[in-house]
Chain A
Amino acid sequence: MLWAFCFSGLASAQTEESVRLKQDLRGLLNSIGSTKQASGIGQEGLGKECKPSIEQTLIGKVPGLWVKERSGMPGEGASFYWRGVNSFRANQTPLVVVDGIPYETYSLGYSMVDGFYNNPLANINPNEVQSITFVRDAVAVWGSRAVNGVLMIETTKADKVQTEINFRASGGIVTAPEKISLLNGAQFRGLASDLASSGFSSHKDIEKTYPFLLDDPNAPLYHQFNNETDWQDEVFSDAKLQEYNISVSGGDEIAKYAFSLGYTNREGLYKNTDFTRYNINMKGDINITRSFKFEPNMSIVLKDNALMHQGLRSATNPLLAAYKKSPLLSAHAKDDEGRDLPYYSSLYFGVSTPTVLIENSSADIRSYRALASSKFTYDFGKAFKVNLLFGLDFNKSRERIFIPQDGVINRYEYSETGKRINYNGMRQGVERSLSYFGDLYATKLHRWGKHQLDARAGLRYRTVEIELDNAYDFGSPSDDFKSVGQGSARSLRRVLGGVSDNVELTAYGVANYSFDNRYLATLGLAYDGSSRVGEEASSYALFPSAGFEWRLASESFLKDSQLFSLLSLRTNFSLAGNDRFNALLGRSAFRPVQGILSGVIHNGLVNKELEREQTTNLDFGVDAGLWNRRINISAVYYFRKTTNVIVGYELREPLSGMYYDNGGEIENKGWELAADVRLLDKELKFDLGFNISKNENQFTKLSASSNPLALQHSGKLVEEIPGDGQVVLQVGAAMNQYYGYRALGVFSTTEQAESAGLKDEDGNPFSAGDMIFDDVDNNKIINANDMQAIGNTMPEYVGGAFAKFNYKRFELSAYCDFATGCDVYNYSRVISESMYGMYNQSKAVLRRWRAEGDQTSMPSATMSDPMGNSRFSTRWIEDGSYIRLKTVSLTYSVPKLKFYQNMKLYFTVDNVMTRKDYLGYQPSEAAFGGAGAGLSKMPSGRSFIIGVQLGL
């Protein structure tokens, strides 16, 4: 079933010719696989949400595509997964194609700003996008890069003859979410007291080290330690946003043009954070002769990010610093009367002052992108055309970062003379990528009788060269000097860089055959070359695909049916390879090593025959359109098996390092269902729709490596994840499950602890007030052998729903998204509930165990947490299921007046409300890979937007 949005203009004319054309176009679309377009994604819909980057508009709209926003930092965008996880080492993101040219996302995005992903997709202005199509089986045309689907983005075309001027302006505010409840001054003092008693034996020592606990007004620095600062207030502020877009298109039969300009500005929820984008697009559609067409396309984007660090270090991350810094302290130093002095207070308890980070630290990225392409089409007649599309894509990001010294805990380092000095830090970096692309293809449509054959064959070549240069400098004379090169700590300077070069070559051919528009068959073949596979593996591989569709609605027995205006059964098969892994895994090479001496070391024993991972995909689908398309249903059942999955094997002693071999197998199966119905079709129109998908993932096999020196696995692979956690891959289970201890409660009494008799790895006993961990192997010792799978990182069900009302000039739409079956690692709670130092904690710690007999799930406060009560366990794993009312939008079409063709006013609320169990901000915010983790990144807020769209 096709909701061929982009072709809607053509389909509206009802002549015989155009109907046939519609069918042909459908056929052509079919030739690139069964397409599933996101419902309601069109120019209007995309612009109204004012999302900084385009993929954020896809949340909950495409069946099977799980879109997870990385954070609320404007521009960081979202990562997306389709049909589960099917690799460890190879990149799994769908291929993104913009106007026919692959858009580089795989190798870009690195940033020197802690915890920030410099999202390449944020260079596209959503207002420019005419349609987004997610193509499931595009391997026949796009080769193995399309193994995880293709996101085809089409920007506004130059295809209108009448001159059209469109103008759109939006503005709004974004409100910060509810703050985390942290302890106030008195409560902090109580916690500090408990911690101090556990760390010191005598009261005298405690009083000497922590004088503020005495609460004596005459003590020196009394005013320094007697405040009631709400650090979160210092960090957060509501944000403003505004967008302006203007586009002009027109032309005549010979030449058409489309030209647009856009400006976006969106503040972040932290003070002094900001996202600005300027873009200019120019397109042409020129019929040089009747048979020869030329379509130039140029796009230039300038993007500015003003950021704050979002990494796991409270030294630089203002949100973490705001959680951890004691409310008793203040940003500015105080005099004896308690008044603010003009300079910042000293850093007590080892936490940076959030105010300083907000006011004096800076992390700015300026990005440029230039995309230029040309398409030549020669029509030889008799539906035979040859096309040449070529272009270049240039990206450059320049970063400048400054971390002050005064008021911030820096990584103190040792200078040449051996003294320990706090330095301020400067970082500057450039990431540059240049990509050339060429696609030469021919298409032919052949008809005879009831048969139709349309074919396409082509050759595609693409190179990507990426260069990264980073410099770190430390110790400029004062915080006024912020550039690299002004630092005095010569021995600490670091310069890093890298250059990478990749080439992709694909020859492809696809043929669609249809008989009487009832039986359709597709056959495709792609021949791919890769520069990443192992040295001695074959670089080229063949990827076939085939599909068959039976259009029951065109059969004689259903042709005149009232019920079924459309009914198809489809099946698709494709084989695709994934080579997007690190080329060094299969190549014997020397790499520079850093140290006192500058040299190279060899990367050890490598598998020179390392091959691509292979995915076999099988689909069975049904599409139905009932009652003249009032109800549309589409369902697909899929089965994907990925073989040759690259797994790391430990090498036999005395060899070091890992050996990579194609020894794994992963299976994904599930279904995708989408339906929409026009419930009312009178003056009040009411559309309702939903999509839901289920994914069942299993890591099915882990074979021994072909190399006898590579040790066979125990069937379990454990990998570290940020935040001191682990995920495990076990044969027979779903991939990437959280792997840690199971927390069973807290020892309430000494008797209870003694009868349990549990000890930690070093032989220390767990006592009253400590966590009770599950002793899986029953040996009374809690260590790594007691770790088990404690949560799923990928959801079971994902989907969304929408409702649309149209009444006269009003339109009201609402979108929902949901996910169930996944768990989230709430790392921000680890920060705010571990109670291991003089850090502020959340109010949850008021429930902590304090005396014999206390029944609670929060352990006691002990300095440095010697028993590891805050180790990675179910204590931090939460249910990440949610259903969220994402966007509600009200549009009013203003009655037509003389000076404009159409005008619309709209009011949108985004991120309306979420029903969740998760204790953090947003369960849908991803942190890494496929595992959701509430790491301390900027949360998303709620936006209120009003706008006007004018067509002249």
Chain B
Amino acid sequence: MVSMKKYSGIVLVFILFLGISVSSCEDMLDTDPKSYVEEKDFFKHQEEVNAAVAGVYTQLIKLTGKYLLVTELKGDLMRTTVNAPRYLQEMNKHSVSKDNPLVAKQDYYDVIFSCNKVLENLDKVKENDKDIRPEELAGIAHEMILVRTWTYFTLARLYNSVVYTETAVEGFTGNEPLLPQEQMVEKLIETLEASMAKERTKDYAATFSGLPTKEFVVEEQLYADLLLWKGDYQQAADVYFKFLQFGDNTKVNEDHKLADWKAVLWGGEAVMEMNLYPFTHNLYEMTIKDYWLAPADSVLQAWSLQKHRAGDGTGDRFRGEGVSFSTDGEPKIFKYYDPEEDFGRYEIQYERGAGMHLKWAEALNRLGEHETALKLLNGGYESEDPEFKGNIGVRRRAGLKDVELDFSYLEEGKVPDAQDSMIQIENAIIDERALELAFEGGRWFDLMRVAKRRGDNAFLADRVASKFPEAERESIRLLLMDESKWYFLWK
């Protein structure tokens, strides 16, 4: 057995060597886990992009709920009651602490980074999936840009200066500078316009993935909003007009006057709408069951002072009592609740037809077209354009009398000039937004927009202060006269 002795050592070493050489083969360790896909193996075909896009929208839904609560509580129409927990009270009083959950930026940047990741990987998809067409890729890119634009726009209006990045999370260095609000709006318009100019499939996600995302972020609405904020009124008015032209977008017409109030608030009029369940159920609990949030007295009073249009029944159709607020016991916010089913709603419309009409009126007003603006607000605008017809005006649709402009502040005998008209019409529009769109989100931004435009912080401060009891009014007013106090701290 001498040979065996000689060989035994060799065999031993051989096995060890076999071990090491086999070990260096990385593939042996590759697993195929099916409950997650590693990024290096992802974005290889269209289905995967669709799944990622769906993921972005899921994160957006989470964000919209927060947006709703914040932009209403900071405004002048919604207030907290004594029952509300500390974090809501803070938001109401405009003195939020650092750990307030509504102030956390992570949810916003989750959406932004997710959009960026999809955008960064579209080239990879193009390489790997031969079937996907360039217009489809552009369509996906456009939707991601829309979602990202909406998120940045919201961030800019809540925080003033925020970090702007177009890279995915791995490209984030932490040294990015903060982009001030004005520059942010410019940048967003620029990026959006560039994307709109491309040849692309419209509503990619809705058409190709079957996702109900068509109304999540609507291009025209977002674009016009940006222009309105920037002050580019002509451009904004054009976009509003073009959008509202299309058949069903008009909505402020006879059909929508006669429809059930549910049609207005439950989707009939929606421009931007999302299924926010179970967040909407939380809203229902906050407004009805636990009664943490309540309508401010000022808006309740405004509804009660509405004057009916002669010969038009009871008026205030689909607004105010029984719709915006309940009437048994304490007035409660009703817009998040379906009283017939005794249940919180699923969807929230955070932009609808009537709102767009009023924004259009706002733009026209600023352009000096006071007549048209008033018509959109009151009794209806009949344009020469055959495409745009049937408009009955926001107030007439509600069965209410035309607004009376208030020139009482002028000296005796003085005739109101164009500037006076513009200011008063603008006030009327903003007041109408309160009556029509209370608690639907965005009120705070309406107040900010007008106050900034006029350089008149009192416009915002007075209105918000009015929702507080006498004792606290002055200190809130003083606080909000300082524009820097309008924003959450970035750090």
Could you list which residues of chain A lie within 8 angstroms of chain B, going by C-beta atoms? 380-382, 384, 386, 414, 417-419, 440-442, 444, 455, 457-459, 461, 497-503, 505, 507-509, 527, 529-531, 535, 539-540, 583-584, 587-593, 595-605, 652-656, 708-709, 761-762
**Complex A-B, nearest 7 residue pairs according to Cβ-Cβ distance, in ascending order:** A599-B54, A507-B19, A418-B343, A656-B106, A599-B55, A384-B8, A501-B31
The answer to whether B11 and A442 touch across the interface, beta carbons within 8 angstroms, is yes
**Also in contact, A709 and B172, with CB within 8 A (given A600-B51, A602-B117, A655-B109):** yes
What are 25 A-B residue pairs whose CB atoms fall within 8 Å in the complex?
A: A381-B1, A382-B4, A384-B4, A384-B5, A417-B341, A458-B15, A459-B15, A498-B35, A500-B34, A501-B33, A503-B28, A507-B16, A507-B20, A530-B29, A589-B39, A590-B42, A590-B55, A592-B51, A593-B58, A597-B54, A597-B55, A597-B58, A602-B52, A654-B105, A709-B174
Is residue B404 within 8 Å, beta carbon to beta carbon, of the partner chain? no
Is residue B417 within 8 Å, beta carbon to beta carbon, of the partner chain? no
Q: How long is the Cα–Cα vector from A623 to B36 in the complex, in angstroms?
A: 51
The answer to whether B36 and A599 touch across the interface, beta carbons within 8 angstroms, is no
The answer to whether B9 and A502 touch across the interface, beta carbons within 8 angstroms, is no
**Also in contact, A654 and B211, with CB within 8 A (given A382-B5, A599-B51):** no
Residues of A within 8 A of B342 (CB): 418-419
B contact residues, range:
35 or more
Q: Mark B10-46, 1 if CB is under 8 A from A, else 0.
A: 0111011011101110101111111111111010000
Is residue B338 within 8 Å, beta carbon to beta carbon, of the partner chain? yes
| Residue in B33, B40, B54, B338 whose CB lies within 8 Å of A598 | B54
Is residue B391 within 8 Å, beta carbon to beta carbon, of the partner chain? no
Is residue B281 within 8 Å, beta carbon to beta carbon, of the partner chain? yes
Nearest B residue to A530 via CB reads: B29
The answer to whether B15 and A457 touch across the interface, beta carbons within 8 angstroms, is yes
CB distance from B214 to the nearest CB of A (A): 13
Residues of B within 8 A of A419 (CB): 341-343
Residues of B within 8 A of A507 (CB): 16, 19-20, 22-23
Nearest B residue to A380 via CB reads: B4
Residues of B within 8 A of A384 (CB): 4-5, 8, 11-12
Q: How long is the Cα–Cα vector from A18 to B5 in the complex, in angstroms?
A: 24
The answer to whether A602 and B15 touch across the interface, beta carbons within 8 angstroms, is no
Is residue B249 within 8 Å, beta carbon to beta carbon, of the partner chain? no
The answer to whether B174 and A588 touch across the interface, beta carbons within 8 angstroms, is no
Is residue B277 within 8 Å, beta carbon to beta carbon, of the partner chain? yes
**Also in contact, A459 and B39, with CB within 8 A (given A414-B343, A601-B55):** no
The answer to whether B15 and A590 touch across the interface, beta carbons within 8 angstroms, is no
The answer to whether B172 and A655 touch across the interface, beta carbons within 8 angstroms, is yes
Q: How long is the Cα–Cα vector from A380 to B5 in the complex, in angstroms?
A: 9
The answer to whether A605 and B11 touch across the interface, beta carbons within 8 angstroms, is no
Is residue B136 within 8 Å, beta carbon to beta carbon, of the partner chain? no
**Also in contact, A593 and B277, with CB within 8 A (given A442-B12, A457-B15, A501-B32):** no
**Also in contact, A444 and B8, with CB within 8 A (given A382-B1, A653-B105):** yes
The answer to whether A652 and B35 touch across the interface, beta carbons within 8 angstroms, is no
The answer to whether B57 and A597 touch across the interface, beta carbons within 8 angstroms, is yes
**Also in contact, A596 and B39, with CB within 8 A (given A418-B341, A457-B16, A605-B169):** no
| Residue in B19, B31, B61 whose CB lies within 8 Å of A457 | B19
**Also in contact, A509 and B16, with CB within 8 A (given A414-B343, A503-B31):** yes
Is residue B86 within 8 Å, beta carbon to beta carbon, of the partner chain? yes
Is residue B250 within 8 Å, beta carbon to beta carbon, of the partner chain? no
Nearest A residue to B117 via CB reads: A602
Tell me what chain A mostly uses at the interface: helix, strand, loop, or mixed: strand
**Also in contact, A535 and B38, with CB within 8 A (given A602-B114, A656-B110):** yes
CB distance from B38 to the nearest CB of A (A): 5
The answer to whether A652 and B12 touch across the interface, beta carbons within 8 angstroms, is no
Residues of B within 8 A of A761 (CB): 86
Other 11 A-B pairs with CB < 8 A, given A418-B338, A597-B213, A761-B86: A381-B1, A384-B5, A384-B11, A417-B341, A418-B343, A419-B341, A444-B12, A507-B19, A530-B29, A590-B55, A596-B275
CB distance from A710 to the nearest CB of B (A): 10
| Residue in A455, A591, A599, A655 whose CB lies within 8 Å of B35 | A591
Q: How long is the Cα–Cα vector from A497 to B34 in the complex, in angstroms?
A: 10
Is residue B265 within 8 Å, beta carbon to beta carbon, of the partner chain? no
The answer to whether B19 and A595 touch across the interface, beta carbons within 8 angstroms, is no
Residues of A within 8 A of B35 (CB): 497-500, 591-592
The answer to whether B174 and A708 touch across the interface, beta carbons within 8 angstroms, is yes
The answer to whether A600 and B52 touch across the interface, beta carbons within 8 angstroms, is yes
Residues of A within 8 A of B20 (CB): 507, 527
Residues of A within 8 A of B275 (CB): 596
**Also in contact, A601 and B33, with CB within 8 A (given A457-B16, A654-B109):** no
CB distance from B169 to the nearest CB of A (A): 5
| Residue in B11, B55, B281 whose CB lies within 8 Å of A593 | B55
The answer to whether A531 and B31 touch across the interface, beta carbons within 8 angstroms, is yes
Residues of B within 8 A of A590 (CB): 36-37, 39, 42, 51-52, 55
Nearest B residue to A509 via CB reads: B16
Residues of A within 8 A of B40 (CB): 535, 588
Q: Mark B357-396, 1 if CB is under 8 A from A, else 0.
A: 0000000000000000000000000000000000000000
Is residue B53 within 8 Å, beta carbon to beta carbon, of the partner chain? yes
The answer to whether A652 and B174 touch across the interface, beta carbons within 8 angstroms, is yes
CB distance from B181 to the nearest CB of A (A): 17
The answer to whether A589 and B15 touch across the interface, beta carbons within 8 angstroms, is no
B147-191 interface with A by 8 A CB criterion:
163, 169-170, 172-174
Is residue B59 within 8 Å, beta carbon to beta carbon, of the partner chain? yes
CB distance from A435 to the nearest CB of B (A): 13
| Residue in B23, B56, B338 whose CB lies within 8 Å of A529 | B23
